[in-house]
Structures are given as C-alpha cells and as structure tokens.
Chains A and B, each alone.
Chain A
C-alpha cells in the first residue's frame, strides 16, 4: 500500500518504508520517500514530537527572547488530512504556490467577470460561516488547536480546502493570533485565558477561488473590561470600516493607509507596516498590495470587478514586529497587544460590496468603549 510522504514540501506517494522512529514509538506511522525528504522537512516535522524529556507541553525555542508573555506550546497535532474529493490549490502538495510566484509583481490586478464574482460571493459566504463557527467556540479554556480542529472540520463539511494549510508549509488550517501576536500565529496547545484576545484568520479555497477574512475576539469578560484592550480592538474594527467606506472605482490603493493610520493615531495606536492587505481570487495572494500605514507607495487604482482584502493590524505600543523562530508567528516588538480585522471586498460600479460581511447572528462584534 503506497502512502503519502510525510514531508510537507514533497507530498508524493511513495512505496518507501522509511519511517520516523520517534513517531513510530508513539505508534504513528509517518513515511518518507527517503532520507532527503526526512532531512529537509525535519524542522517542521519534529514539531509534532513530544519533548525529549517526554513532556507534551513544551517551548520549542527556549533560547529565544520572547517579547511578551505568550509562548508556543508544542507539540503540534499532526497535519490534518484532506479527503480526496476536495479540490486542492497548487501549493497543497509541496507548499510552493507556484502560480502565485509566477504572477507576482507583473502589475496586473485581476478584474473578475460577473460569473467569477458569483462564485467568489459563494465562497466568501462560506468563509464567513466558518469563521463564525470559530467565533462561537472562543472562550477561556479552549486551546488554539481546538479552533484549528473546528475550522478544518467546518471547511471539509463545505467541501472547502483551508487555504493556510501547507501554504509555504504552514502546518495548520487557520491562523490564530493571541494577544501580542500580530498575525500568522500557529494554533497549538495554548489554553485561552480570560482577558486574552485572539484573532482567527480564516481563508478557504472553493470553486477555484480563495476567500479571506478575520476577526479579533475578546476571550472572557476580563478582556472586555480592559480599557486599553477595548480601545485597541474597537479602533481596529473601526479603522477597517473607515477604510472600506472609501473603496470605490478610482480609489488609489495607497490612500487606504492614510485613513487607517489617521484613525489609529487619533486613538493612540500604531499601524503595523510589515503585513499588508492583498488581492484574492484564483490566487490566495495577488495584486494589489494594500499597505495599512500612511504615506505608502502602493501601486494601483481600484476598478469595478477587483477583489481584495483590507486587514489592518494595530498595536497598543510600537508598530514594529518580530518573528518567532517558527518563521511564522509575528509579534509586537514590545510585547504589547495587537489586534486585526479583515474583510474581503468587491469593487462595484459605484462603491464596494463587503463579500465577507457579518450576518445578523455572527458572534463577536463591537463592544462599547470604557
């Protein structure tokens, strides 16, 4: 019986019998084509192992100077399988989004046909349902991996592929970013505490299109009672809404950053510069590039039929960010909290349609400032 190579950068079927001995000890069979596959994927693969001392809750980068209180809690659960009938994006097997790399920076911003837009609308609606399911789950005591498990299940239920999974070898089906994590947090065994905030960033691939949205949720009532945290989360939510209100044909994408930064500054917050909104469609990420900070040099003018995200990340302290050694998790440089909201929108003939708009019964939502 051939099995699929466990190296996330390989993804091929193999007759090989080469197994990871550490997984084997736990009674898990993880097969690799050869030692090269094993070697090149080792750094990712080992994150599912328990610690050498047998601990099943450990910090994989003990020497790293974390900027806040949050730590990664390994081991990670193994990669969740995708049933064969679900259509995969090109990077699902090897991690390399080849079509995206090829398309990158040619300067064309896709303009979608009405037929394509119909499909994108459908996908966007599903992604909202999936995010809402996670939002309902968020409470003190659950782990971020619980959120990942749910998102994965909700995606499969709707025949969607969870876009983050194996995108540049990202190990999970969703990004969960807690407290000082700005974005791209990897779901793990961390248990959400009363007073935390968590951003759940859902992206799915369905009918040949990606949809992308996220929200930051308060965890427990303690978070909602913290004036700084509420100011952060609500300002970010408003900043996104203000930016969306400016979207219409003729908008220069570079202008969105001015709107967002103005609102952030007014509320004593800073805007992350490293990560930007982006076009979506047949590709997970494409043109336009949408910076959220003022005085940026983004390229492009909005035209009807374009689909893109705005996803401002605002910080209580410094705007600067740093990455954990997992090469994904981005946190604030000063360890202070960061919040993010994201919508995916369509430029219409006379304005904008928020494709990932909230439903009446969507969990989360604005709370009054204190």
Chain B
C-alpha cells in the first residue's frame, strides 16, 4: 500500500469516530516501545472519566461479524481436529478474507493500520538453524518448536478456501494451485508440497497468525476472540516484582461483559428462556403465579365477571406501573458508571452509534486505571498478561523482555533422566514397583501435595519467604478470565508433577519438588504398607503429610544438591550458537535462562 503511516493513522481515527467512542485527545504516534503507541497529552486527574475507548461488539472483527461467517459454519472440515469457525482459527481466517476484500471491507481503515507483512514469523516456522539454537531452551522444553499444528490449520484453511472458490475468490495466501483440495489427499504429501513449494505462502500465513494472535482479545461467550480496533494499539509494559510479588504496571484495562448467551450474544438470553417453554401450559401457570405474587397485597381472587369499574381500576394501575417503570429507567441511566454514556449519546451526527454506545453491556471498553507517566512521554500501556513468561510472550506476541519475572527453567528432562537411571539399576519387578509409586502420585499424590502446600502458605502468610506468583490478574484483562479468578489471589501451582521441577526467576524452586523427591526415595515396602492401603481422601492426606511432606534438614540439603546437579546439567546442554536469523533474540533468551539456573546454583 502506498499510503503513509500518518495517513493510515488519520483514516483509522476517522473510522473510530464513525464506529466507536475514541477519546478526542488520545494521540496515535510511533513509540519507542515499538510500532505505534497511544499517548495522552499529559498526566490525567484520575477523577476524570476513565473511558478511553468504547466500541460496540457489533463493530468488532470477530468471526461472527465477518462476511464469510455463514461459509465457515457450513463448511464440513476435512480434518475434524480443526474447527475453522472456532475461536482463534475463526478470527485468523476472517481477517485473511477481510484483508482480501481491500477497501470493500468495513474494517479496511483499521486493517490498514496493521503491518501484517511486517509481523513476526511464529517460532515454529523459524529456520532449522534457529531451531537448533533453541535446543534445550524453554521454547524447546515447552514443545513450541513443532509446526505440525500450524500446518494442519494451514491445510484446512486452504482446503476451506478452495471449497468456496466458486463463491469467494481465494485469498492469495491460501491459494495452493498445485494441490487438488477436495480429493483424497495424503497428508504427508501435502505437507511436503507446502514446505518445498509454498514455503513463502506458509510464512505469510504465519505472519497473519502472529498479527492476529498478538492483537486478539477475548470478548465473551458469543464472540469468543476478536480484533478490537484501536484497543490493540496500546503497547505492552511488563510487570515488576515487588517483595516477591508480581505487580502489573499497565495504565489501562480492557473490560466487557463476558457472560452472554453463547447462542444469541445477548446478556439476557431469549434463546434459553424459550428453551424452558416446551409446555405452554406450564408457562401460563408461571405467568399467573408471578402475577399473583405481585399482587400479594390486595390478593386478587378469581373474578366471575369483568365490570367497567374493574377496567377503570386496572387502567389506573397500569398507568402507575408504566410511570414507575419509566422512573426506574431514568434511575439506571444515572448510574455513576454510566455517566460517560450519557455524554456519548448527545452525538447527533451518528444517532445509531450513540444509541449502541449507550448500551454499555453490548460494548467493550478500554478504561484508564493508572495515569500515564512523564518518563514514558505519557504513553498509555496495556499489559498483555502479567503472567507471561518469555517463551509465551515470544509465541503470542513475537517479542521477549529483559528480566522477565515470570520466567522459569524446567528441569523435567533431568528429573526423568534421573528416574531412568534409578530404574535401569533395578530388576524388572522392582522397576514396576517403582512405577506404581509414580502412578499413585499422578492419580492422588500431586493434588494432595498442592492442597497441603496451599494450606501451609495461607498459614504462613505473615512471613512468607516463598516465591509466590500472586498475580494481579484482573478479570477480563487481555486474556479474559476463564476461571473466575477475579479478585482472588492465585498461587502458582505447576500444571503437573512432571513440570513441577523448575527454577523460578528469583532462584527458588516450588515446594512441590521435595515431596516428589521423597516419593522417589520411599521404599516400596513403606509405599505398599501405607499408601496403597489408604482408601479414603483423609487417609491419603495423612500419609502424604507424614511420608512426603516431612523431611529432615539434612535431606533437604541433599535434595538441593541433586537439583543443583540437574541445573548444572541443563546449563551444560545449551548448544553453541550458530549464525541464524534470530540468533540475537535467542541469545538474550538463553542468557536470561542461564542466569536463573545460576541463581539456584549460587544459593545452594
């Protein structure tokens, strides 16, 4: 495109004024934090209206709002694993098709502001040299180097595009004319053709993925993920660690009602309401019940005759009800949280937009929660997630940060090698018995250990030396809140025992490590006698507490020694870096990981 960046910003702002509320004095300019950023003229009084952006959900670029949505829904997948209408896949495909429409897309002005060709290439499509350099890194440990899933998605996307070609032209990035989609294809052959002949298209597709994934917000149960014009312009600021706790530094929060009917998208579902209505008679009775309970005071009995007096009285009552309804309407309108919408609805140029913006439940908001600072030239920052470690930042947003407090280094590989060593010195039967312990731990032990540790942490809250990821993770932040964590403090529990052996950013290791090592040491006789016979949750808790949680100082020391050897082993396994396209970034990533491992080694 020939338009300059400032022209693009101008048309984006124009789009925003036609399709959303965008605070007048916000400026979109290039930022030292990368690309464009959003700035305020100066430090704001927080008493001011915090609303920076409000956009009706109907104006988001979500799969359900995209022109091709009916085609996505009707499409019968070649590969059942890939649901093209679903969340992330759906947004990506929708964006590809909207971009292909050029100026005919209602989101043209917005899409122009995204530098898709300049977006990062997903790590899993990096060169073999890059991948070689990433061996032993956390990216490798988290299995983020495999391109299988991405290629499956690509094949399905191309197959969809091919199936629609009589109806909608195939977007260039999805056009693989040497592959006969719709016929019986051998997956491996297709993969080979793509890699050998369409590498550039695959990379371009990868850039679309990055561009979209790094920008998408979780909206609600109906829209799922969507692009929110302008909300994605805010740059990321990383959290800090204050007294062992992660603290967000963002200036804004992204807010919207997530709990809507997933079928119709409304807060109050028509659909589910109707669902209960199978039997008309029931419904009628319910209505009557309501009616009667409303009129509890003047218990209306079933009347035998409607008189003119009755009608008169009824009309008066209905008039009163109407008035009180209007009253309550005005009351809700004056709800302090809604104040800003009142000023919005005065926009006479766009009355339909004003009406949409007045219904806050059908909009997404970007709210200022913290004034921007002079040291950043009053740039307004978002946090893309205060819990994201570098590997996930890289995967989702294409960048890493220095000193990421969420980083940690897994020692799972070393642990499994250790276990393998132990078992290799055992007879077949003994090794089987050893596995029994791990199976039990998998089934019951790990969860119990987590429970006991949580309890202990709660007790020790006052003097807490432990690393504790107490995320200031707000509901409906960037990634949404799937687990109802709002307001609740969240402790970092490793997702599985296999991944529990790790070193955190500050050089600590999870408390979960020691019980696991105790288990490995536990004699089979002790295990058989105490653990296998524990049939109730309480008994199992008791044995875990007695045999796995408790240990002597000396044991802790020897365990730390063991882990130290694992950390050293991992350190030694980083490959010599060769020249590769992302060598610099990889080096920075690796240095940070090495520092973390070194912290544990130095401590013990």
Contact = CB atoms under 8 A, between A and B. Distances in A.
Interface centre among B70, B85, B271, B275 (most CB of A within 10 A): B70
Nearest to A288: B70
B302 interface: yes
Given A94-B280, A295-B106, A299-B69, A104 B264 contact: yes
Interface residues of A, number: 48
B167 A249 contact: yes
Contacts, number: 110
Nearest to A252: B67
B146 interface: no
Interface string A247-264: 001101111000000000
Nearest to B66: A299
A12 interface: yes
Shortest 9 CB-CB contacts between residues of A and residues of B:
A300-B70, A250-B167, A109-B70, A252-B67, A297-B106, A105-B264, A101-B270, A299-B69, A107-B73
Interface in A34-50: 34-36, 38-40, 42-43
Contacts of B106: 254, 295-297
A319 to B, nearest CB: 10
B303 A18 contact: yes
B73 A108 contact: yes
B306 A19 contact: yes
17 contacts: A21-B308, A22-B308, A22-B311, A32-B306, A34-B302, A35-B306, A35-B310, A39-B314, A42-B311, A42-B314, A98-B274, A101-B270, A297-B59, A299-B67, A299-B69, A301-B167, A303-B74
B274 A101 contact: yes
Interface string B300-320: 101111111011001100100
B311 A299 contact: no
B305 A18 contact: yes
B30 interface: no
Nearest to A32: B306
Nearest to A306: B70
Contact of B74 (A19, A104, A108, A320): A108
A169 to B, nearest CB: 15
Given A18-B306, A21-B307, A301-B68, A36 B287 contact: yes
B20 to A, nearest CB: 13
A106 B72 CA distance: 12
Contact of B318 (A18, A42, A255, A301): A42
A117 interface: no
Contacts of A36: 287-288, 291
Given A101-B274, A250-B167, A250-B168, A107 B288 contact: no
Given A10-B284, A109-B70, A300-B67, 6 more contacts: A12-B280, A34-B288, A107-B69, A107-B85, A252-B67, A299-B70
A273 interface: yes
B166 A249 contact: yes
A17 B304 CA distance: 8
The dominant DSSP class at the A interface is loop
A109 B68 CA distance: 11
Contacts of B271: 101-102, 104
Contacts of A249: 166-167
Interface string B97-118: 0000100101000000000000
Q: How large is the interface on B (under 10, 10 to 19, 20 to 34, 35 or more residues)?
A: 35 or more
Contacts of A300: 67, 69-70
Interface in A287-326: 287-288, 295-303, 320
Contacts of B69: 107, 299-300
A156 interface: no
B306 A20 contact: yes
B168 A254 contact: no
A103 to B, nearest CB: 9
Interface in B261-316: 263-265, 270-271, 274-275, 277, 280, 284, 287-288, 291, 300, 302-308, 310-311, 314-315
A133 interface: no
Given A108-B74, A254-B106, A297 B303 contact: no
B396 interface: no
Contacts of A255: 104
Contacts of B104: 252, 255
A4 interface: no
A12 B307 CA distance: 23
Contacts of B318: 39, 42-43
A234 B314 CA distance: 49
